[in-house]
Structure 1
């Protein structure tokens, strides 16, 4: 009995002791959760909208990332559906693959003196001394050295440079590949593809200091392009702000996250009407906030889209190809050009040869085809070109707005149907009816497909102001839909239009800079690599051409793009 009583006494003592410990732990966990709710929300709802470091580097900088996440999750509302481990890993690897060289922190207030100055910077064709002959099939290498406004050499990388080799008289041009040596010097490599003169052109798009600003804007102001929706019921009408990211307020939210794709979209709930009363979607405006003097980093003719001068000659004379010299072909990885211009026509390097199509051969190529186009206004431009170039392809008047669509054109005699529909939000169009807001993945899932079906899409420019994680997730959803389409109808032809360069003003640089487009272009190519899809390389077709950069490339470039498009559809036809 004494032993049993002793045992019970010990058990009671231990239970009371552990109960105290458990109570203490419970209180501790409650306090931790209460004061770290925003961090926990990040981990349990993968809202990666404000990660400032690639996830692969997350484990190395946990403390820094924690503080950044807490700051920004307190200032924006965002929510994504959970990712699969495979998608999360892919996102991590993609972020690592496009990681930009570390750019300098900026003094406050900013002074231009120590920033990159294209007027002081120079490029040199190698070898510096004469004596070498270049032949078709060779590679030309150029070294670029960057200096600041005081003429001092830069010692860090991160500048955004473009390289082009051209001969205006021959209608020839090819893009060069730029390598950042991270010490203020760069190299550019060009494939020599035609006989005769070839002139090197190096352009500074942005100094590295401007990239610092662009990175900060994305992190701190992902909602600087904002949107609106009208809600209407009878005579009552209200307008509220909408976006992927919204500042939390006392005002309730309407959640329009797509149930199938998981794409997030929110509006502030109107005061008098229900969320079901939403009738349209529109661009609200742009409101980027710069620090003092930062606008000086985005001045056309000074440090934005400015040519760099040559030290010595900018020209080389290219001799005929030497006997036994192999043909230049594009690599599957982006280490060489995908094509070039000669006599103002685009010639592919490897892959499908590009044929030239006239009105008759284009109609014959599309005979019996259904062509579905999805995306932004750069894809709509292709629809407009075809309906203007093919007289028998008549557009139906669906009484839709010219910019918005959707559009449909029919050539009854040749049994050709061409449609266009804009992609879902975020899209900077005006007055899109909510019924016409469709996500590309959902549209692809509704297609039967087959050898008479061509699917074309392009989606990039409207995602430029948002964290690139949003773009990656959108493309992952589209890719899954493409895979499903090709599984059920392997003969379906899928063609993707890449991003392209554009003219830049201050506001455009802060919202749709070529640097933003370049990052998304890299992600797009990597995302669809290895799938049975075709790319129209709009980036190189704009860069290699002599015409000025434009978000909507001029007709001669569009004509070449259409020839590439039709060559994919009808690889053995053309003139």
Structure 2
């Protein structure tokens, strides 16, 4: 029996005999339990204990995930940076002729050498490759096979007529990936702080998803429990000093000064190679028209199946790149997508985005598109953190955005306590009417969780899955989409290969694929890793040109091209 349950029982026994007193005792107990659950003092167990044994096995280790990470998790710190793969010393050569036909597959061999000019005999380095022609606005990513002996096979399809240049990078050495994963497994959230203020009183305390870790930093047995407002992740902060209380939470701050404190000299040296990634080559491919093609096409198209009719479960298990750019428009290969903006796509629909500032870009793009052709009634907020909603009368369409929950970048509000109570996508969806053609929910988690232990990302996804299963029972006409991580490089940020390593996006995708088992056929995957690799996207916030193609992909799975 918990401490508060004992207090309640004691009060009822002590006050027994008078109905009025019993009533008083029950009311008092109710208030105590409410304060415990909602205002925030807690001694609860950590997040993993909230899940069933089956789900814990997914969180801690599932077979596929272990296989993906095994080479990195079992490796030791590097001791000699010269033993790592050196792109400047490595070589590429083409298998076969330099002229091919439209639709052909082209293979290249890559041999990695270390800093001593010796060929590597182990795998695990992360290569990226693409064919491109800037004049044509044509870009396609390659698939890469690791032979685990220092050699790699790069395979790419010839998808347009004309010339194409090959680019291959050793974006992350094996040693860099090992470092990035190790630091995330041991990171304790110690640089995330809650700021409490009231009148002239101010205090800062450490926060995190694991109550035992927070207790260790705060030296308090009782904490502020903000889990009830954080929705998809438990969240605790140290209790501020009297007269401040958990209700006086006003801001979140964070920095990453100590994130790389565990790096040794070898790891630091490798991460100074932040722009030394390209393997030098002058390989150009000439792509010729296919002699048996009577249509005289200039680009390759494999299917006529509409994306709106495609088996969406297959999207979770792609075997080759999803598409390519031609004239700076993204062309899907597995299904026929929309090539231009279709305003009728969202008529009589309610579209809700829940995510970060990169998904907010989609909201802004669509908002501006529809504001140009329709009057609207909009509620405005302070950027992506706040709930925003627009009703477009001409199309009977509602467009909404909710910022995702903690952890997020630092910001402040007059009352954060109330702010996080309003960010539940499940509550917003429940409040929506069934009187329209459908509800569309687009979810995205990535950048703000990218530097944390994978188990905490998995905990988020587990809670999201639980919410979705409840939603599916009551909202039969809802369509759910997951925007997967995209590629980017924060070149202006020190040690970006560790702190902003977008290889983590592949791991996050793997976690989601495993946790969402059982409802994969209810979730449409919006995969933009291929398109952002093909374009060699650098900014965490892609250009409007790339955002346009991302939104068109969402529309392709939602509507038919009339």
Q: TM-score, normalised by structure 1?
A: 0.76
Distance in structure 1 (CA, Å) of the matches to 2:269 and 2:377:
48
Distance in structure 2 (CA, Å) of the matches to 1:442 and 1:210:
41
Deviation at 1:237, TM superposition (A): 3.2
Distance in structure 2 (CA, Å) of the matches to 1:424 and 1:139:
44
Deviation at 1:550, TM superposition (A): 1.5
Distance in structure 2 (CA, Å) of the matches to 1:123 and 1:100:
27
Deviation at 1:554, TM superposition (A): 0.6
Deviation at 1:98, TM superposition (A): 3.0
Deviation at 1:268, TM superposition (A): 0.9
Please tell me whether residue 227 in structure 1 is matched to residue 192 in structure 2.
yes
Q: 1:464 aligns with which of 447, 450, 455?
A: 450
Q: 1:276 aligns with which of 243, 246, 249?
A: 246
The structure, 1 or 2, with the larger RCO (C-alpha pairs under 8 Å, 6+ apart) is 2
Which residue matches 1:238? 203
Cα deviation code 1:250-273 (max 9, x no counterpart): 234222223895722110111114
Distance in structure 2 (CA, Å) of the matches to 1:85 and 1:477:
15
Q: How does 1:336-415 map to 2 (within 5 A)?
A: 336-357=320-341, 361-362=342-343, 364-390=344-370, 391-392=372-373, 398=379, 400-415=381-396
Please tell me whether residue 122 in structure 1 is matched to residue 105 in structure 2.
no
Please tell me whether residue 291 in structure 1 is matched to residue 269 in structure 2.
no
Deviation at 1:466, TM superposition (A): 1.5
Answer whether contact 1:231 1:279 (CA < 8 A) is retained: yes
Q: 1:138 aligns with which of 92, 101, 104?
A: 104
Distance in structure 2 (CA, Å) of the matches to 1:434 and 1:82:
23
Please tell me whether residue 251 in structure 1 is matched to residue 220 in structure 2.
yes
Which residue matches 2:143? 177
Please tell me whether residue 316 in structure 1 is matched to residue 302 in structure 2.
no
Answer whether contact 1:231 1:273 (CA < 8 A) is retained: no
Answer whether contact 1:202 1:307 (CA < 8 A) is retained: yes
Q: 1:542 aligns with which of 520, 532, 540?
A: 532
Deviation at 1:444, TM superposition (A): 4.7
Cα deviation code 1:450-479 (max 9, x no counterpart): 633211111112111222122122212212
Which residue matches 1:217? 183
| Uncovered stretches (5+) of structure 2, i.e. residues with no partner | 1-44, 295-299, 304-309
Answer whether contact 2:194 2:207 (CA < 8 A) is retained: yes
Answer whether contact 2:254 2:410 (CA < 8 A) is retained: no
Cα deviation code 1:26-78 (max 9, x no counterpart): xxxxxxxxxxxxxxxxxxxxxxxxxxxxxxxxxxxxxxxxxxxxxxxxxxx95
Deviation at 1:240, TM superposition (A): 1.9
**Partner secondary structure for residue 384 of structure 1:** helix
**Partner secondary structure for residue 561 of structure 1:** helix
Distance in structure 1 (CA, Å) of the matches to 2:194 and 2:274:
38
Q: How does 1:417-566 map to 2 (within 5 A)?
A: 417-431=398-412, 433-437=416-420, 438-440=423-425, 443-444=428-429, 447=432, 451-504=437-490, 505-528=493-516, 530-545=520-535, 548-566=537-555
Q: TM-score, normalised by structure 2?
A: 0.78
Please tell me whether residue 85 in structure 1 is matched to residue 63 in structure 2.
no
Deviation at 1:377, TM superposition (A): 0.9
Distance in structure 2 (CA, Å) of the matches to 1:157 and 1:419:
45
Which residue matches 1:188? 154
Distance in structure 1 (CA, Å) of the matches to 2:408 and 2:323:
31
Which residue matches 1:42? none
**Partner secondary structure for residue 559 of structure 1:** helix
Q: Does 551-560 or 88-97 show the bigger shift?
A: 88-97
Answer whether contact 1:447 1:485 (CA < 8 A) is retained: no
**Partner secondary structure for residue 202 of structure 1:** strand
Deviation at 1:372, TM superposition (A): 0.7
Answer whether contact 1:205 1:514 (CA < 8 A) is retained: no
Which residue matches 1:13? none
**Partner secondary structure for residue 506 of structure 1:** coil
CA RMSD of aligned residues (A): 3.0
Deviation at 1:490, TM superposition (A): 3.1
Change (3 A) 1:285 1:147: same
Deviation at 1:409, TM superposition (A): 2.2
Answer whether contact 2:249 2:417 (CA < 8 A) is retained: yes
Deviation at 1:322, TM superposition (A): 5.5
Cα deviation code 1:151-204 (max 9, x no counterpart): 111122221211212222221111111222222112222122222222221112
**Partner secondary structure for residue 81 of structure 1:** helix
Deviation at 1:120, TM superposition (A): 0.8
Distance in structure 2 (CA, Å) of the matches to 1:291 and 1:177:
31
Structure 1 or 2, whichever has the larger Rg, is 1
Answer whether contact 1:230 1:280 (CA < 8 A) is retained: yes
